[in-house]
């Protein structure tokens, strides 16, 4: 059931994305002849007055079809309500609407998370130093830090019970390589001031410690609607920033981070683990994936929404679109590369998952 829950979350996010394209087109009177959730064989379909609605066998995808290039359409090629005959702004709205829908939906999920289920926070303020890692770096031990110390502040920035304090502390350490960082430490009943100089690493400063929340992690719901909207916005901003940083690291440190790229199987596995161990975090998982889906789609890559927006930008600058053969060649090349990457990730992750299952089975033989 946990796997089905994860697949359902992904299917809903894809449905939201495609519905964004669909509603943006229909609200402008643009012809839409297909709305499909999934790829592959059709499991169910309904023919409306103009649009065919379908559910297909593989739910991890979807598309909105336009009759512009349909040879069987009865709509004349000069119809002003064909997508290709609309002004650039109208087409840009349709193309970007899927990304906008995913971002709005992610924000709504986060507001629902903090209102209905709550957000995690530590039972005590500060960030706990769970362990030192001298085999990686002895910076912490040289500065006098010990496992069990609680960091109350860094460079005069206080850490409360929020779990974001861990990310904030990491950012301070990473952004100050070879520079002194002042830490306020609680060690038992004593409070100490410690200066530590993070070691310069490829991903930023590091002091070689394992960090954790201070005390038990508890959920706190927010009943005030205005406060829930504000906290949801803060979480939304944090996830967007974190996602962009992740893409930045992927570009600048491709060799080290490429292996961490997750495909559909890995994402479903992650979602299944969340659904099994912490159902309350499914809304957060959905928001996280929805934001990632939006940011990936807006990248100026062929076969993605960002690639189509790039073509529109070129058309606006040139005063006329690129020749169809060039656009089709670029889009087809991009589609083949994306499909190849998707198939590679699916095969790799399925193989890894199968190996893990076989290893677990051997433990119980």
**Which pLDDT tens digit goes with each residue over 59-74?**
777 889 899 877 888 8
Position 251 scores a pLDDT of 56
Tens digits of residue pLDDT in 197-211: 888 887 788 888 888
List active site positions: 18
- Single out the residue in 181, 200, 220 at which a domain terminates: 220
pLDDT at position 25 is: 95
The reply to whether 359 and 252 lie within a common domain is yes
Same domain, 251 and 128: no
Please report whether residue 304 resides in a domain. yes
More confident residue, 248 or 223: 223
- Tell me: do 270 and 152 sit in the same domain: no
- For position 265, what pLDDT does the model report? 43
> What average pLDDT does range 53-58 have in this prediction?
88
Mean pLDDT of the chain: 79
Asked if residue 262 and residue 359 are part of one domain, the reply reads yes
Give a yes or no: residue 35 inside a domain. no
Which residues form the domain of 248?
Answer: 94-118+232-365
Chain segment 226-260, per-residue pLDDT in tens: 999 998 998 898 888 877 776 666 555 544 444 44
Residue 219, pLDDT above cutoff 50: yes
pLDDT in tens, 85-141: 999 999 999 999 999 999 999 999 999 988 988 877 888 898 998 888 765 557 888
What confidence score (pLDDT) does residue 17 get? 92
Q: For residues 216 and 271, state if they share a domain.
A: no
Give the pLDDT confidence score for residue 12 in this predicted structure. Answer: 87
Residue 6 has pLDDT above 90, yes or no: no
Q: Tell me the three-class secondary structure of the chain, residue by residue.
A: CHHHHHHHHHHHHHHHHHHHHHHHHHHCCCCCCEEEEEEEEEEEEEECCCCEEEEEEEEEEEEEECHHHCCCCCCCCCCCCCHHHCCHHHHHHHHHHHHHHHHHHHHHHHHHHHHHHCEEEECCCCEEEEEECCCCCCHHHHHCCCCCCEEEEECCEECCCECHHHHHHHHHHHCCCCCCEEEEEEECCEEEEEEECCEEECCEEECCEEEEECCCEEEECCCCHHHHHHHHHHHHHHHHHHHHHHHHHHHHCHHHHHHHCCCHHHHHHHHHHHHHHCHHHHHHHHHHHHHHHHHHHHCCCCCCHHHHHHHHHHHHHHCCCCCHHHHHHHHHHHHHHHHHHHHHHHHHHHHHHHHHHHHHHHHCC
Is it the case that residue 363 has pLDDT exceeding 80?
A: no
Confidence of residue 167 (pLDDT cuts 50, 70, 90): confident
Residue 285 lies in a domain: yes
The band of 21, judged by pLDDT with boundaries at 50, 70 and 90, is: very high
> Is residue 243 located within the same domain as residue 318?
yes
pLDDT given for residue 202 in this prediction: 75
Per-residue pLDDT tens over the stretch 177-195: 889 999 999 998 889 898 9
**Same-domain pairing of 190 and 130:** yes
* 364 pLDDT above the threshold of 70: no
Q: What total of structural domains would you count in the chain? A: 2
Which of 186, 220, 254 corresponds to the end of one domain?
220
Q: Is residue 70 part of a domain?
A: no
For residue 16, being part of any structural domain is answered with no
Residue 51 domain flag: no
Considering the domain architecture, whether residues 102 and 166 belong to the same structural domain is answered as no
Q: Are residues 317 and 354 in the same domain?
A: yes
Point out the domain boundary residue: 220, 243, 273: 220
Whether residues 352 and 241 share a domain: the answer is yes
**pLDDT-based confidence at 266, cuts 50/70/90?**
very low
What would the pLDDT profile of 268-312 be if each residue is shown by its tens digit? 455 445 545 455 677 888 888 888 888 888 888 777 888 889 889
Q: Is 203 among the domain residues?
A: yes
Q: What is the pLDDT of residues 331-343, one digit of tens each?
A: 666 555 555 544 4
We report the CATH number of the domain holding residue 191 as 2.30.42.10
pLDDT reported for residue 212 = 87
Q: What is the pLDDT of residue 258?
A: 42
357: in domain = yes
Clarify whether residues 206 and 143 are in a common domain. yes
Same domain, 166 and 113: no
């Amino acid at each position: 059931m946990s796997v089905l829950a994860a697949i359902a979350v992904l299917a809903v996010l894809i449905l939201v994305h495609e519905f964004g394209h669909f509603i943006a087109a229909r609200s402008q009177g643009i012809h839409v002849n297909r709305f499909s959730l999934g790829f592959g064989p059709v499991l169910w379909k309904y023919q409306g007055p103009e649009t065919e609605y379908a559910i297909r066998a593989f739910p991890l995808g979807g598309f909105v079809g336009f009759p512009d290039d349909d040879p069987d359409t009865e709509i004349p090629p000069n119809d002003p309500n064909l997508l290709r005959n609309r002004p650039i702004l109208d087409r840009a709205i349709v193309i970007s609407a899927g990304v906008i829908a995913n971002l709005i939906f992610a924000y709504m999920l986060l507001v629902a998370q903090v209102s209905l289920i709550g957000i995690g926070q530590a039972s005590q303020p500060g960030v706990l130093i769970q362990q030192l890692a001298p085999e990686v770096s002895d910076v912490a031990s040289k500065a006098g830090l010990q496992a069990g110390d609680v960091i109350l502040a860094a460079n005069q920035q206080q850490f409360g019970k929020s779990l974001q304090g861990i990310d904030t502390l990491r950012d301070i350490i990473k952004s100050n390589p070879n520079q002194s960082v002042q830490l306020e430490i609680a060690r038992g009943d004593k409070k100490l001031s410690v200066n530590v100089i993070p070691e310069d690493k490829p991903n930023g400063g590091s002091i070689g410690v394992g960090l954790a929340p201070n005390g038990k992690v508890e959920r706190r719901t927010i009943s005030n609607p205005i406060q829930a909207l504000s906290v949801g916005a803060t979480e939304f901003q944090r996830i967007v920033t974190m996602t962009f940083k992740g893409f930045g690291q992927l570009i600048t440190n491709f060799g080290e981070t490429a292996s961490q790229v997750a495909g559909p199987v890995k994402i479903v596995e992650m979602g299944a683990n969340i659904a099994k161990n912490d159902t309350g975090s499914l809304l957060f998982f959905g928001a996280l994936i929805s934001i990632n889906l939006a940011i990936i789609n807006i990248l100026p890559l062929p076969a993605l929404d960002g690639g189509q927006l790039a073509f529109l930008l070129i058309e606006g600058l040139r005063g006329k679109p690129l020749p169809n053969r060039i656009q089709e060649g670029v889009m087809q090349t991009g589609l083949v590369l994306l499909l190849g990457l998707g198939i590679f990730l699916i095969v790799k992750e399925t193989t890894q998952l199968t190996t893990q299952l076989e290893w677990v089975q051997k433990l119980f033989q």
